[in-house]
Amino acid sequence: MTDFVRKESARREEDAVCDAVIPAGEGWMEDLEPGQVLRIVDLDGNQAVDTLFYDAGHPEDRYSAVRTIASQGGLYLTTGSVLLAESGKPLVTIVADTCGRHDTLGGACSAQSNTVRYGHETFHMHNCRDTFMRLLAARSGFGKRDLGPNVNFFMNVPVTPDGTLTFADGVSGPGRYVEMRAETRVTVLISNCPQLNNPCNAYNPTPIRLLVWDR
Amino acid sequence: MNRQTLWRKELKPGGKWSGVIGRGRLVRFTARGAGANLAALLYNADHPEERYNMPDTLKAQHTARLTKGHVLMSDNGRVLASIVEDTLGWHDPLGALTTRGMTDRKYGRTTFQDRRNDWLKNGLDNAVTELVRHGLGPRDLVPPVNFFSKVRCDAADGRLHFVSGHAPAGASVALRTEMNVLLVLSNTPHPLDPAGTYPSVPVEVEVAPAEPVDPATDVCVNLRDENRRAFENTWEYFSLGRDLG
């Protein structure tokens, strides 16, 4: 029996102050004010949404996957998970989640890691790390050093008790969403993953929808 | 197998060290007591914006534990270092560094003023201090490998469990550097270690020349196709950068 914690949100789409559709292979980099809530909707199901968070007032302090999982004593992110920066500062809290489990071990694909995982012939293919770097370059003060292990919303990367890392089939579905509340002023960096070599998205990257509420 | 030790250093409990170790060295860590934990961060010494990437390392090798045969990959799909010896079978890549607050809460607050050099150091301050020494800083933090520690994960819900008593006195593990590596070490407890007393285990670091890599037989190159491709990327990097004169 696999534990999934699913929680719906009462927020209404018509109240959102931002509503955007991000196609696969594209990204989004925006700030959230404290208390604002971001919803990511997996429009067609089993998409991977690679996401990083920065303390907007102190961007050297970014989301830390290992600090977050050590703090909560568990690998998976869902409702109630507090996503922490390297310093231990809370950046966002997941407040609703109709998928029930999100990964933070799988990282973001790159041309280089694609050559390792799938073969040298995949080098030309578009990837999340390129989207991240293009968006970081557009904001002053950010660069490649600001990339660290990210969250993969809607991805399922279970670890077995004997220490094997597996890539399981997607656990999401069309219209599933996750919502997170900013605990401080937070810069959010998203790449909607263009990976074509991984069965977890059925080799079919699809658009996501982003909604932001003031509370 | 007459390997001449080039350098040796004992890291006291709470101790830290950083330095550049050239390609082709064997770096052996030996626990001088039971219950050691040595946090290690790795960078390409020549271009530190290339650094150890935990997710790329784990997903390429389908593992959440590190032992002999595994390699530590950079974010450019190359091998920074290979694990060529290991008496334990499990080193933890999932834990973090301890922080000042975590250390104070768990073991009681200590200050240099009160305890002089017996105050209890934390992994984050140790790592950041050493990064700054090399012109880097907090934004350059990567997840550490916590050598000598084992963290088991429940299949159903992903809960993490620190396995106490994993590393006996004398446990050792050795890395072979495949690039010029900036290595940052912190001999501080694993954040998930439930022990209420600060582990006081010295760790010895020893560097010697490594045997040359034989691509046909090397256990790390041949562990899986992914490893071989990461080595190919590394050899390509040195081939392109080598002085032709």
Mind listing the pLDDT tens digit for each residue in A158-187? 999 999 998 877 789 999 999 999 999 999
Mean pLDDT of A16-45: 98
Strand spans (E) along chain A = 18-22, 27-32, 37-42, 49-55, 82-84, 90-97, 151-153, 176-182, 186-192, 208-213
Q: Kindly give, in sequence order, each residue whose CB lies less than 8 Å from that of residue B114, ignoring residues fewer than 6 positions away.
A: none
Distance from CA of A147 to the nearest CA of B (A): 8
> Across the interface, do A107 and B102 touch by the CB < 8 Å criterion?
no
Residue B118 has pLDDT above 70, yes or no: yes
Mean pLDDT of B41-66: 98
Measured CA to CA, the distance from residue A184 to residue A35 in angstroms comes to 8
Q: Residue A1: its chain B contacts at CB < 8 A? A: 156
pLDDT per position as a tens digit, A97-132: 999 999 999 999 999 999 999 999 999 999 999 999
DSSP summary character for residue A6: -
| Domain of residue A126, residue span | 24-37+44-213
CB of A141 less than 8 A from some CB of B: no
Determine the pLDDT at residue A4: 80
How many CA within 13 A on the CB side of residue A27? 24
Determine the pLDDT at residue B153: 96
Mean pLDDT of B93-120: 96
Q: Residue B226: its chain A contacts at CB < 8 A? A: 116-117
Among the residue ranges A145-149, A154-158, B133-137, the one predicted with the least confidence is: A154-158
**3-class DSSP state for residue B48?**
coil
> Across the interface, do A66 and B63 touch by the CB < 8 Å criterion?
no
Q: Examine residue A77 and state whether it is found in any structural domain, yes or no.
A: yes
Interface of A with B in 108-137 (CB under 8 A): 108, 110-117, 119-120, 129
> Across the interface, do A108 and B55 touch by the CB < 8 Å criterion?
yes
Mean pLDDT of A73-81: 97
Q: Residue A164: its chain B contacts at CB < 8 A? A: 62-64
> What are the backbone dihedrals phi and psi of residue B226, each rounded to the nearest 5 degrees, phi first?
-60, -40
A1 → closest Cβ in B63, B156, B233: B156
CB contact at 8 A, B33 and B200: yes
Measured CA to CA, the distance from residue A190 to residue A39 in angstroms comes to 12
Distance from CA of B158 to the nearest CA of A (A): 5
> Across the interface, do B96 and A67 touch by the CB < 8 Å criterion?
yes
Residue type, A132: F
Distance from CA of B156 to the nearest CA of A (A): 5
Strand pairing class (A18-22; A208-213): antiparallel
Residue B45 has pLDDT above 60, yes or no: yes
Residue A3 has pLDDT above 80, yes or no: no
Domain boundaries, chain B: 7-241
pTM, full prediction: 0.97
Determine the pLDDT at residue A5: 79
CB contact at 8 A, B87 and B173: yes
- Residue A166 sits at the vertex; the CA angle it makes with A165 and A169, to the nearest 5 degrees, is 155
Measured CA to CA, the distance from residue A199 to residue A182 in angstroms comes to 32
* pLDDT band, very low/low/confident/very high, at A200 (cuts 50, 70, 90): confident
CB contact at 8 A, B17 and B11: yes
> Across the interface, do A88 and B94 touch by the CB < 8 Å criterion?
no
CB of A105 less than 8 A from some CB of B: yes
Distance from CA of B74 to the nearest CA of A (A): 9
Determine the pLDDT at residue B120: 97
> Across the interface, do B53 and A144 touch by the CB < 8 Å criterion?
no
A70 → closest Cβ in B96, B140, B152: B96
Q: Examine residue A9 and state whether it is found in any structural domain, yes or no.
A: no
Query: Dihedral angle at the C-alpha atoms of B102, B91, B12, B211, nearest 10 degrees?
Result: -150
> Across the interface, do A145 and B76 touch by the CB < 8 Å criterion?
no
Residue type, A163: G
Residue A1 has pLDDT above 60, yes or no: no
A106 → closest Cβ in B49, B55, B94: B55
Q: Residue B78: its chain A contacts at CB < 8 A? A: 112
Q: Residue B77: its chain A contacts at CB < 8 A? A: 110-116
Residue A82 has pLDDT above 60, yes or no: yes
What does the DSSP assignment read for A50-83? EEEEEETTSTTSBB-HHHHHHHHTBS-B-TTPEE
CB contact at 8 A, A95 and A180: yes
Q: Examine residue A7 and state whether it is found in any structural domain, yes or no.
A: no
Which letter, b or e, does each residue of B6-17 get, where b requires 16 or more Cβ atoms within 10 Å of its Cβ?
Answer: eeeeebebbbbe
- How many interchain CB pairs under 8 A, A with B? 150
Interface of A with B in 149-168 (CB under 8 A): 149, 157-161, 163-167
A60 → closest Cβ in B138, B155, B192: B138
Q: Examine residue A112 and state whether it is found in any structural domain, yes or no.
A: yes
Mean pLDDT of B42-52: 98
* pLDDT band, very low/low/confident/very high, at B199 (cuts 50, 70, 90): confident
CB of A207 less than 8 A from some CB of B: no
Distance from CA of B128 to the nearest CA of A (A): 11
Measured CA to CA, the distance from residue A5 to residue B6 in angstroms comes to 54
Residue A92 has pLDDT above 50, yes or no: yes
Determine the pLDDT at residue B237: 97
> In chain A, how many domains are there?
1
Mean pLDDT of A70-78: 97
* pLDDT band, very low/low/confident/very high, at B242 (cuts 50, 70, 90): confident
Q: Kindly give, in sequence order, each residue whose CB lies less than 8 Å from that of residue B180, ignoring residues fewer than 6 positions away.
A: B20, B21, B22, B23, B44, B45, B46
Determine the pLDDT at residue A58: 96
B53 → closest Cβ in A61, A87, A107: A107
pLDDT per position as a tens digit, B200-219: 899 999 999 999 999 999 99
Determine the pLDDT at residue B2: 46
On average, the pLDDT of chain A sits at 95
Mean pLDDT of B188-204: 95
ipTM of this complex prediction, to 2 decimal places? 0.97
Determine the pLDDT at residue A2: 54
> Across the interface, do B54 and A107 touch by the CB < 8 Å criterion?
yes
Among the residue ranges A197-211, B53-67, B101-115, B181-195, the one predicted with the least confidence is: A197-211
